[in-house]
Structure 1
């Protein structure tokens, strides 16, 4: 039960740790504290996992350095006369362009130049807008949170009354900073906002598809205005929980209402996503075609037919170069950002994100899984599992983005996995240090240091709460200790006892034993746990012989002090036994009780070491022993054969010991056959070889008694021990 309780406590601690990680993750999700890292990873994906433009619908006409230089050399300086835009608008219209989008602000009247009237130039451009009837013009706004501000511009020409069913999820109102001249605005088929708000790092990654203009209505961004111009007039718009729905098409939006731009291949003139044509090349081609319709030109009408043409500035000096996730590959003019968004809308090619609940679920799995993996696995396997999780997150993120353009918070998961791993590893380290301290505290004084370190390395060897195992247990005490305690001063007695117990403990440790406890002068020890030992009986017996020898060296002169030992082998319960708050690593069971009885039984036989039959059977090939009796100890009814441990067979000069054992065994055989005189003769021979041999003297006394009072006919040689 205690083991279950400890494991339960560990699981509770891990669950609390997982909860902390989960709450940190939730906080990160809703505060977007790691959004910067997620954006960096997203930028990397855009730069290295590029998509091609499958629509091939958009053409960019660039007011580039080449165009500025060309017109400068012909005496026409920036800003150019509106007549230039009239020429290209007519050329686009005559070439069959589907839509013309000007990412240019026509917000002031043209001015007079040499031989060229500004008013006439504006009029010609206005006429071309009316003729084409498919031009989108740009305006620009800025955020303003004060609804009481006076409006300095008339906004009504900008606000188209789209069939919008509800308000967008964001409420930042905008005020105009520039707008097309009213006459141009009325001639255009649509108007779009060019405002773009970069993220904190200065990169443009997302955009509002609509903005609230001066609290009076909603206006689309330039790319959205162009897209709506391609839709039926009756199409409806509605913001939903999953994005912006336009007719049957759903455009996914981020939680803040922003549209996340799906970038294609690198931008720019050279091998970019969209074909670029220089503005001056369009003008020259248009003029050549006006002079000779059959002339071959650099930009023939066929490349413009059925295209959406976006005209904008790419020259660095005109200030429309933007920073985007893939700006490092090529300079990115604002018109290409509008082209990218429009291309997303046309091709229904969007970046999608899993619902928030999926992010929370993944976070929950990371928060719970990592602490338990770390806690219940080896360090190498735990680290390998975490590395696998990190690679899985990265791999799944790359695959989903590459093939489905699904983007989830890889950065958040990587950081949370790292936090969870670091926190769990720290928890495991301190928990293991605590466990090591507890093991050292519990076993440092009972087993040899090498065993303690092995237990620390393999704490699973300690099955808390107790388990049944076959072990060997030993009890010993000092015969004659009472006389010593009476003769010595308390300080001397304590000193002697400490020296004795310390020496006995060292011998037990040297022979891989576990000291269970000290009871006054008595020592209890066992072998075979907590570390498994196949030769535990042999180790116990060898340790006992060494202790017997050491006691002789420690015994004061002119004393009859010696130690008695009882050893038994068999099944017993071993483990941490006690209450929840206080317990000892010990052994319990009949075998333990038997060993204690055998230690005491030495008194009856004048022997030093009595071992049970099972112990003798395990060691008889290694040690010399002789049968002492067929004994029923106090408190038991079943007899057990007991032996005296006499020496190790590998010792030199054991010939006399073998003779003693052989003679003694013959005497015991005569005794069991009721041949009392023959038995006594043999035991006397043993005494001649080993004076004061306790077992021989014991049997001589028994033989004399049985000669006078023979045992009953059913006597089986069993001796009942009446005392402990």
Structure 2
């Protein structure tokens, strides 16, 4: 899918395609039970006000079970205990609903999460054992974790067949067009959206899941995803009660039917909604009353309001019927792009203006007709707006395409790289513009990640203007130091800095430059830190082969580095927190700089997402620094303590680490190992313990 300036046009065109090139429901499998205005009014007249007692849900759950429903999905959050009402005990009401869930054994309940924007949020609250997570092969197209904001009561979660996430994020214009089928819940694994949870319940227990280049594979089905990992919902026709895609039944009508049958169990009684309405069906129960706040805006909202449960129903129907919106194959997209960018300039160059204009209009008309036909009959979508705009721009701008091209290229290079590398590097890039071609090359580099520990605290203490001023001063100082040591600033992420050495201009001593830069940055942070704060920086450094170059799309890319070592450096920066250290470097970096710097081994570490351990070290001081002489003694004592620790001589190890603390009272790694030794004395490790420490978090 295309982004940026084309999004608005593409979305508008796609919305119109859904509205006027509608499809029928291919399954007739899903029915909706609605908590609607009629239900609220009915129970209000009988003295029952919202929220209703849980025994109401017990009544309809039993009715669905007796009807032979295949699945019952609750798009409602049962996250708080019921409360006492006149003549109704909240505890007993909960208990009745719980008993129905146990008997039904086919109910799916909803929970809710939200994307975690703040890396400092404590995620321990989200390690929810009752929420099943799924192990999906390969790397996902998105990585942002979610935090749990609401979940069913534990007893309901245990009784439910499965749980599903109700989170749905609208686009910038407020319309819901796509969803994540899975989200990462606080780094504990992937949890499905409500519809996906239902779909998985319909699959064999042994079904496999894997992220692929094209999307998500579940068993034999390949589910297409957009580039950002979202699933584009395939809408059928207008929603709602009257002539909508799915049959709707009012909640109060189900309650009436159930009560009538309970009163007359031995006779055939005509009820508002018979059992046959739900036999072998998937039932989704949710709210459609406007006052309950579950009305969503979708591309079909101009016809009829869409409750959240109908979006889940549409998504589930897509999955069951394998009725997906797909994109053109890559070769077809390339062909269309070549047709536009090749044929239109040709018509301008070699045909008269009138014939050239007719040819251009004809080409664009064919593209529009093809887009409509493919979508109407096969639900194949391609970015018509993108091609229309590209065609127009190509036609109007091709005559002056090379005007001031070289000067413009130089300006773009200065603009793109002037903030990130030294001026002499910029001039070299201007002399070698081929370095700016989209793509990358494999090189041995050193990459650094840094972050301010305690930044959340200072954020809370300072006014926004003061915070921005401090952040600008801090980032400016860090950038100056990186430039001073011939580094390249990759990006800023809030208070974090990513930089690398060895590209775009090669440097044989890139690891040494990175370490010298880091030591100076550490000192500078101490100078900049406001008084009465415990602010300091943490650094992670890794050296090795990585991909460096302009990574992105043809209309937007960044000069950056990618690869395993980049991810490792990021993990090491965060891992400092576990050890109380400031700078953690990988083994390859250590081998390159051990003659110039004092370093000590921290651990044999398995970082999050990996299985092989890596030996990591703390960068402590420059050997040429006369003030760092005592560091050698500290490292010698510490190393003995580490050897005792690895040989399981806990008391001897503690003694050595305490000696380090007598020389360096705030030494975090020594304190860490003392704590581990005490823990192992109480609970010894297994006989085959190899000293490897597994880092559970990123």
TM-score range (shorter-chain normalised) is: 0.5 to 0.7
* Contact 1:163–1:236, Cα closer than 8 Å, also in 2: no
SS state at 1:176 partner: strand
In 2, distance between residues paired with 1:359 and 1:326? 27
Q: What are the residue-to-residue correspondences of 1:193-204 with 2, within 5 Å? A: 193-204=165-176
Which of 102, 106, 117 is the aligned partner of 1:134?
106
Corresponding residue for 1:360? Answer: 334
In 1, distance between residues paired with 2:211 and 2:27? 26
Q: Post-superposition shift, 1:173?
A: 0.3
Q: Post-superposition shift, 1:115?
A: 0.2
Corresponding residue for 2:194? Answer: 222
* Contact 2:126–2:147, Cα closer than 8 Å, also in 1: no
Which of 302, 306, 320 is the aligned partner of 2:294?
320
In 2, distance between residues paired with 1:368 and 1:212? 44
Range with bigger deviation, 374-383 or 186-195: 374-383
Corresponding residue for 1:251? Answer: 223
Q: What are the residue-to-residue correspondences of 1:91-170 with 2, within 5 Å? A: 91-151=63-123, 153=125, 155-170=127-142
Corresponding residue for 2:497? Answer: none
Which of 420, 423, 434 is the aligned partner of 2:394?
420
SS state at 1:175 partner: strand
In 2, distance between residues paired with 1:167 and 1:62? 38
* Contact 2:126–2:185, Cα closer than 8 Å, also in 1: no
SS state at 2:243 partner: coil
Are positions 1:340 and 2:314 aligned together?
yes
Are positions 1:306 and 2:251 aligned together?
no
Are positions 1:381 and 2:321 aligned together?
no
* Contact 2:371–2:384, Cα closer than 8 Å, also in 1: yes
* Contact 1:163–1:235, Cα closer than 8 Å, also in 2: no
Which of 64, 68, 89 is the aligned partner of 2:40?
68
* Contact 1:285–1:299, Cα closer than 8 Å, also in 2: yes
Show CA shifts across 1:270-319 (max 9, x none): 10000000000011011111112411111100010000000000000000
TM-score, normalising length from structure 2?
A: 0.56
Are positions 1:239 and 2:203 aligned together?
no
Number of positions where the alignment pairs a residue of Structure 1 with one of Structure 2 = 401
Q: Post-superposition shift, 1:62?
A: 0.4
Corresponding residue for 2:536? Answer: none
Are positions 1:272 and 2:272 aligned together?
no
* Contact 1:159–1:218, Cα closer than 8 Å, also in 2: no
Q: Post-superposition shift, 1:54?
A: 1.2
SS state at 1:368 partner: helix
In 1, distance between residues paired with 2:388 and 2:11? 13
Q: Post-superposition shift, 1:163?
A: 4.7
Corresponding residue for 1:711? Answer: none
In 1, distance between residues paired with 2:25 and 2:276? 19
Q: Post-superposition shift, 1:93?
A: 0.6
Q: Post-superposition shift, 1:160?
A: 1.7
In 1, distance between residues paired with 2:170 and 2:330? 24
* Contact 1:353–1:407, Cα closer than 8 Å, also in 2: yes
Corresponding residue for 1:370? Answer: 344
Are positions 1:36 and 2:8 aligned together?
yes
In 1, distance between residues paired with 2:390 and 2:87? 69
In 1, distance between residues paired with 2:330 and 2:4? 13
Are positions 1:87 and 2:59 aligned together?
yes
> CA separation of 1:412/1:158 partners in 2, compared to 1, >3 Å: closer, same or farther?
farther
* Contact 1:159–1:217, Cα closer than 8 Å, also in 2: no
In 2, distance between residues paired with 1:239 and 1:410? 27
* Structure (1 or 2) with the larger CA radius of gyration: 1
Corresponding residue for 1:477? Answer: none
In 1, distance between residues paired with 2:26 and 2:236? 10
In 2, distance between residues paired with 1:166 and 1:374? 48
Q: Post-superposition shift, 1:145?
A: 3.9
> CA separation of 1:246/1:73 partners in 2, compared to 1, >3 Å: closer, same or farther?
same
SS state at 1:138 partner: strand
- Gaps spanning 5+ residues in structure 2: where? 403-698
Corresponding residue for 1:331? Answer: 305
In 1, distance between residues paired with 2:68 and 2:99? 17
In 2, distance between residues paired with 1:39 and 1:307? 33
Q: What are the residue-to-residue correspondences of 1:320-719 with 2, within 5 Å? A: 320-424=294-398
Q: Post-superposition shift, 1:205?
A: 0.5
Show CA shifts across 1:534-585 (max 9, x none): xxxxxxxxxxxxxxxxxxxxxxxxxxxxxxxxxxxxxxxxxxxxxxxxxxxx
In 2, distance between residues paired with 1:405 and 1:158? 38
* Contact 1:157–1:182, Cα closer than 8 Å, also in 2: no
* Contact 2:32–2:249, Cα closer than 8 Å, also in 1: yes
SS state at 2:326 partner: coil
